[in-house]
Amino acid sequence: MKVLILCTGNSCRSQMAHGFLQSFDHTIEVYSGGTEPAAQVNAKAVEMMKEVRIDISSHVPTHVNTYLDQEWDYVITVCGGANENCPTFSGKVGKRLHIGFDDPSHATGTPEFIDSEFRRVRDEIRKSFARFYITEIRKEALPQCSCGGNC
């Protein structure tokens, strides 16, 4: 199972989603990329993921072009910009989904408010990707009924 998660900068939301999905099942090949990748992963995203015991500090933003000729079971966009500007993949893509989130890196205000926005988005990502994992990936891993669905 190969999953690619895309956003514009590949520095925050896609990296958190990457971390969560990989933590749910280490057998899934999870990658993330950006249409306009940042120079590094957002330090606040790294900090907030450490709070839930997931280390994304070694992740590196990668341009989506790196992945265009590969085969993917899922390509998932997590921001409107990447969804609107998602390039055409020359490799086979099983399913393309959009699971959008606010960008916490745009939050302004007190440090406490900014932290709360990162936590809110982080927790929304965890919930949404847990649902995706259970309804899509785990469903595909279950053995199919031999009665044709009439049991």
Q: Where are the beta strands (DSSP E) in the chain?
A: 2-7, 29-34, 72-77, 93-98
9, 17, 5: which is closest to 131 by C-alpha?
17
Q: Is 146 within a domain?
A: no
CA distance linking residue 32 with residue 17, whole number of Å: 9
Please confirm, yes or no, whether 12 is among the known catalytic residues. Answer: no
Q: Is 129 within a domain?
A: yes
> Which of 12, 86, 145, 151 is labelled catalytic?
86
| Total domain count, the chain | 1
What pLDDT, in 10s, does the model give residues 107-141? 999 999 999 999 999 999 999 999 999 999 887 65
Specify the CATH number for the domain of residue 7.
3.40.50.2300
Q: Is 147 within a domain?
A: no
What pLDDT, in 10s, does the model give residues 18-54? 999 999 999 999 999 999 999 999 999 999 999 999 9
Domain that holds residue 63: 2-141
Q: Is 149 within a domain?
A: no
Average model confidence (pLDDT) for the chain? 90
> Which of 7, 12, 145, 151 is labelled catalytic?
7
Please confirm, yes or no, whether 145 is among the known catalytic residues. Answer: no
Using the 8-state DSSP alphabet, how is residue 63 labeled?
B
Q: Is 111 within a domain?
A: yes
> Which of 79, 145, 147, 151 is labelled catalytic?
79
CA distance linking residue 27 with residue 120, whole number of Å: 28
What pLDDT, in 10s, does the model give residues 64-121? 999 999 999 999 999 877 667 666 676 789 999 999 999 999 999 999 999 999 999 9
Q: Check: CB of residue 11 under 8 Å from CB of residue 116.
A: no
Q: Which residues pair with 6 in a beta bridge?
A: 33, 77
